[in-house]
Structure 1
Amino acid sequence: MTLGVFFIVLAAILLGAIAQRIAGLGFALLVAPFLVLILGPHTGVLMVNICGVVSSTLIIGRVWRDIDWNMFRWLVFPSLLGSLPGSYLAVVVPSAPLSVTVGGIVLVALTVSLVLQRSDIVVSGNAPKAVAGFAAGLTNSMAGVGGPAVSAYALLSRWPQRPFAATLQPFFAVIGVVTLVTKLSLDPSQAPALEPWMWGAIGAVIVVGIFAGEKLSRFVHDHHARFAVVVIAFIGAGLATVRGIIDLTA
C-alpha cells in the first residue's frame, strides 16, 4: 500500500470513528464502500471488521450505563449464526462479485432504513430481535455492514436512541471478533499487509475520531448525523457497485 493510499484510508477511518461516536453506528456504512473501492473487497471488508471492533470496544466504557444487556443477548446470539456462513462466503466468493454484493447490500439496507423511517409499523416481541441479530451478523461478515439490520429493528420497535446507540457497541465488538476469527481461520492470507507503524496510526486515528465525535455530539443533532452518514454511504456504495460491475464485464 502506498503512502498516498494509506492516508486516504486513514481519513476514511477518522470520519467513520466520528460518525460511530455521534450516531452510535455509521462506521461501517461510511467506511466499508470506500475501503472496498481502495483495497478490494476481501481486504477492505476485513479492515472494516478490524477497525469496527477497535472503535466499538473503545466506546463501550463511555456508554456503559446506557447499555440494554437483555436486548444485547437477544441480538448477539442469533448474530453468531449469521456470522459463520457470511464469513465463509466472504472468503470464497471472487473479488468482483463480492464488490457488487458489498455495494448492493449497503444500497438496499440504506434504502430500507430510509423507507422505514416513515413507516407507522411497530414490532414487538423477541422474534424480530433475533431476526435483526441474524441479519446483522450475516451482512457484517459479508460486507462489513451490520448496522442497517438493527437500525431497521430500532425504527420499527421505537427503540430510544440513547440505549440503542450504547447497546450496539458491545454487539458490534462481539460479532466483529467472531467474524475476524472465522475469516482468518479459513484464509490467513486475507490479513491486511501493513507495517506496524501503520497499525499504530490506525489505532491513533480511531481514538482521535471517537473523542472528536464526543465533542461534536454536543452540537450535532442525531438525525442530522445519521442523514450525513447515509448520504456519504450511498455515494461510496454506488462507487463500489460500479467498480464490481466493471470488473465483471471487463
Structure 2
Amino acid sequence: MGGWGAAGLLGGVVAVGASVQRMAGIGFALVAAPGLVLLVGAGPGVVLSNCAAGVISAVGLVGGWRQVRVRAMAPLVVAAAASVPLGSWVAARLPEPELLAVMGLLVTVAVLLVMWGVRVAALRGGRGALAAGAVSGFMNAAAGVGGPAVSLYAVNAGWTAREFVPNAQFYGVLVNLFSLFAKGLPRLDGPEWLCVSAGIAGGAVAGRWLAERVPDGPARRVVLGLALLGGLTTLGKGLLALQ
C-alpha cells in the first residue's frame, strides 16, 4: 500500500470490523477480512485479519472471562489447533486469484448457513465440537474466517446468545494465536500499524456504545449483511482475476 491515506483506509476497515465485533460479540473477520484482502492482497489480508481479530476478541473477553465454559470449549480448541497448519499450508500455496475466490466463496456460504440457522445433527455433542473446531481452524488459517463454524455449533448445541459471546471471544483469541504462530505477524509499515491500532481502539469504543443502544436482532442483521456483501465482492474479484 503505502502512504497515510492508504493506511487510514486500512484502519477504517479494521475500525468497522472491531465495532461490529464489540457490538455483536462476533463478526470481525466476516466483515473486515474481505476488505483487508482487497486492500493488501489475499495472504497479507488474512494474516492481518487474524491479528486484529485476536486482539479485539481479547478486548471483549476482559469483561466476560468468568462466563467461559472451558471444558465445553476444549474440543473445539484442540481440533482447531490440529487443522490450522493445513489451512496455513493451503493459503501459502494457492495463487492469489484462487485464494480470493475460495475465501469469497467460504465467507458467502458461511454467512448464508448462519442466516438460515442450519440444524445439523452431526454438529451436536463431542463429535460435533471436534468437527466444528476442525473446520473453523482450517477456515481461519486459510481465509481468516473461523467464526461461522463455531456459530453453527452453538446453534445446534442450543446455546443462548449470552452463553455464546464470551466463549466465542475466548475461542477467537486462541484460534487466531494458532494462526499467527503458523504464519507469523503481518508485515506493515509504521503508519499502517498506527492506523490499524487506532482502528481497533476506536472500533472497540464505538462498538461498546452501539451495544448499549442497538438490539441484538438488528445488530445481527447488520453484521451478516456486511459480511455477505464482502464475501460476494471478494468472490467476484477472484473470479474476474481467473479469466
TM-score (normalised: structure 2): 0.93
Q: Distance in 2 between matches of 1:156 and 1:171?
A: 17
CA-based RMSD of the aligned residues comes to 1.8
- What's 1:146 paired with? 146
Q: Contact conserved, 2:11 with 2:192, CA < 8 A, in 1?
A: no
Secondary structure (helix, strand or coil) at the match of 1:126 reads helix
Letter in 1 for 2:127: A
Which residue of structure 1 lines up, in the alignment, with residue 61 of structure 2?
Answer: 60
The answer on whether the counterparts of 1:122 and 1:158 sit within 8 Å (CA) in structure 2 is no
What's the CA shift for 1:124? Answer: 3.6
**Whole-Å separation in 2 of the counterparts to 1:123 and 1:193:** 38
Partner of 1:78: 79
Alpha-carbon spacing, 1:14–1:89, altered in 2? closer, same or farther (3 Å)? same
Residue 131 of structure 2 corresponds to: 131
Compute the displacement of 1:144 (Å).
0.3
> What is the 5 A alignment of 1:87-236?
87-116=88-117, 124-184=124-184, 191-195=186-190, 197-236=191-230
Please say which of residues 59-68 and 20-29 is displaced more in the overlay: 59-68
Classify 1:171/1:95 alpha carbon distance in 2 versus 1 (closer, same or farther; 3 Å): same
Taking the aligned partners of 1:124 and 1:95, their CA distance within structure 2 comes to 35
Question: In the alignment, which residue of structure 1 is the partner of 2:235?
Answer: 241
The range that moved more, 96-105 or 59-68, is 59-68
Counterpart contact for 1:36–1:44, Cα < 8 Å: yes
Q: Does 1:35 align with 2:36?
A: yes
Contact 1:122 1:157 in 2 (8 A): no
Q: Secondary structure at the match of 2:218?
A: helix
- 1:5 equivalent to 2:17? Answer no
Distance 2:228 2:172 in 1: 21
Unaligned runs of 5+ in 2: none
The amino acid that maps onto 1:220 is: V
Shift of 1:225: 1.0
TM-score, scaled to structure 1? 0.91
Kept in 1: contact 2:124–2:153 (CA 8 A): no
Distance in 2 (alpha carbons) for counterparts of 1:125 and 1:10: 39
Gaps of 5+ in 1: none
Q: What is the aligned-residue identity percentage?
A: 31
The count of aligned residue pairs is: 242
